[in-house]
Structure 1
Amino acid sequence: MRALIIKEFQELLKDRRTLAMLIVMPVLLLIIFGYAANFSVSKVSVTVIGSQAESLSRSIRSMSTARDNMDIVSVDSTKSGKTDAQAILRSQSSDVVIQSTESDSKSPLSERMKVYVDGSQLFTAQAAKKTVLQLVAQDAQTRITQVKNKISNLKEQAAKGTQELQDYVAKLQAWRVALSSSIAQGKSQIPAVPTPPTLPKSISIPSISMPSLTDDNLVTVMFNPDLDTSWVMIPGLIGLILTLIGTVITSIGLVRERETGTLEQLAVMPIRPGSIIMGKIVPYFVLAIVDMLIVTVLARWLFNVPFIGNVGIFILAVFMFLFVVLGLGVLISTLSQTSGQAIQMALMITMPQILLSGIIFPLKSMAVVIRWIGYVLPLTWFNKVSQGVMLRGASFQDLWMPLVILAIEAVVIFGFATMRMRFILTHGGAR
């Protein structure tokens, strides 16, 4: 048994890729879950609109809750209403839109604003609703403190007025005694009448206008009113399915061709390398499209996930993303000698995309370095497009950046992978 154990260790040490995976994967998971596994959103970006936007933004900035949890990125008094708020949220230039109302600046904060939140960003929306309620509660506390101070001042004024009245009564009594004495003595000089104290004309107790602390009256959640988790997850799940088929299944299938010798046989046949490559990846392309259609239809039927955007933009994103993941699958197959190695490399590529693309953990809650790694991953940008089209009805103008990044990644990754596969085929299928 000892000899078998030693032999197994020797074999393991020879397999550098397996050894690297055994060492790198735990470290990678530790870093990812340590820096990325965070559901809380520390700050939300805010745009303030409406005719009183400047005054309202100053009031919000002065509050400690806003300083800790909000980042006011724009103040625009030319925009107002639900339509403008929806357009801002659809473009994702802000997580929250606060619309100022015509209420007086002395009114409670809840009467001065209407809040719109992007429900397609689940954890950000929850954090925004919580922050808004904290703002209203802090404003109410401030007003209660002001009323308490006014009442305290009134009590001091009342105590001072009472003392002055008592002193005045004492002076009147002394004046009456002096007057009686002067009359009894027959003096012609009458003592001066005491001057009455100056009292306030009226004392009014200030009232407290308590706001409603229910978020339903104050916050409007757009694109996902009930903050349904399935609505947010399924657009990303479509990308995840495409990734698994395009990267994992494709790489395993192509490596098996080499293991069985089929690839070498094709390489010596009078078929162009480009035709061989396309012939191998088209079935996986079609299979991925079919799975995408099935998942999309079932999501609409079973979970009532909306699809309110342009179908053409969604299909364009699917095609570009498929070229990216198929390119990754082809590239893995050119670097792997066995199916086991292909599975290992595919997992190494797929795992970060699942965890760092924003499907599970919000990108804003990640450490900066980990967040930038997420921005490199193609699933991050496909998720932005699929959520934008399905939930927000985003237009090409709103989604041009994710689409351009997907196009660049498709050209670079698929182009490099096919060039490497073409090189292998022109050399008889040998790596």
Structure 2
Amino acid sequence: MGLFDGGKQKRISELEAEIGRYQTANQEMAQRVQELGGGDYLGFKRAIDHVQAEHAHLAQEQAAAEAQLADVQAQTAKVRAELVGAQVKRDELRAEAGILAEKVALQSDGLYEYEHPAESVIRLQDELRDVTSRAKSMVSRKVATSAIANFTFNNSEAKGRKFVADMSKLMLRSYNAEVENCVLTVKAGKLDTALARLQRAKDQAERLGSMIHLTINNEYHRLRCRELELSSQVADAKQAQKEAEAEERARLREEKKAQQELERERERLKKEQAHYQTVLDELRAQGRADEAAEMEARLADIGKAIDNVDYRAANIRAGYVYVISNVGAFGPSMVKIGMTRRLDPLDRVRELSDASVPFNFDVHALFFSEDAVGVEAELHRRFAAQRVNLVNARREFFAVTPAQVKQQLATIAGNLLEFVDEPEAEQYRESQRLREDGPVAIPA
């Protein structure tokens, strides 16, 4: 309606009023015609039709104008939306430009963004973000280093300030490069070495910048050292996980060997049982009662052996607990406490005495228990404070003497029949004797 001028609107209203008057007059005239019997009815009808046609034409013009107005409003809204989007994009570009400028400034001081090992560890992510953010802030605020304030170069304070700024930047770049190298290369168990290396980098930067009294801010150094510690924690955790996985694979191999041995023994006993049963049937058929009775006794023993194998196969807690030591490799005050489900537990001891140790292990105790898992776990619990490897519990070495284990084992097992207090250590003692006798001849 905003596109219509006041004259057209007024004209429409006048025509509507005139139509009303004509309709009233028409009704009066029609009544009068009826009363008089005729009149100019057709003239009135034509006038009314003309007015109604003009009214319809104006209504069409109004509808077209309103449609045009709606189109203009839609185009205006579209332009406004595009303008808002352009403003948002402009703000985003300005923010990105600010971040990029900050990165360029930080990189000029040697503080680069790189994939930190601790980023992949959820529990370390928050602390890593806090540490790196505080380190970046110190670099941005130019407080990561400090130096002399009134240094002059060629009798020029301006040149002196530029020299100090350039030297500070150069030393900080060198220090930050060493931090990044340490963080990305630190190995499991080597944190102290990496921290010492980082301290040397700090000392070297300060020594080279001694002319301008350059120092690396201690708080900044502490933050970078914490980054290194977080990286070391990841390396230690990964190493511990690898060792645990290796130990688990070894345990599964040991379990598989035990199952295979039990299955082979069961098959052997079944064949032997079938053989003796055949002989027994022949003896009975021949009436040889005495020999048959002897064969029945043998069959009974085989049946018990088969039942024992079946029990061992079904009960995964049953097995042998062993206490072994290796004086030549670990000294007199260290033992290994473990368990095995192998039919011959000495097979496991012999496997442990492979080329990875210089001498064979000596056995102090080796006994069967229906709950070997429980006995082993209780011994481990009682000597938890003496466990050598506190990271990997599968490394079952304890800094105790065989006599100390014997005392605890007697209270746990109860039926301990035999315990060797003094290890034989034959190869170790012979090696010691040969060394004492004189120079050892190296085989050709």
TM-score (norm 1): 0.25
TM-score by length of 2: 0.24
- Greater relative contact order (Cα 8 A, min sep 6): structure 1 or 2? 1
Which structure is larger by alpha-carbon Rg, 1 or 2?
A: 2
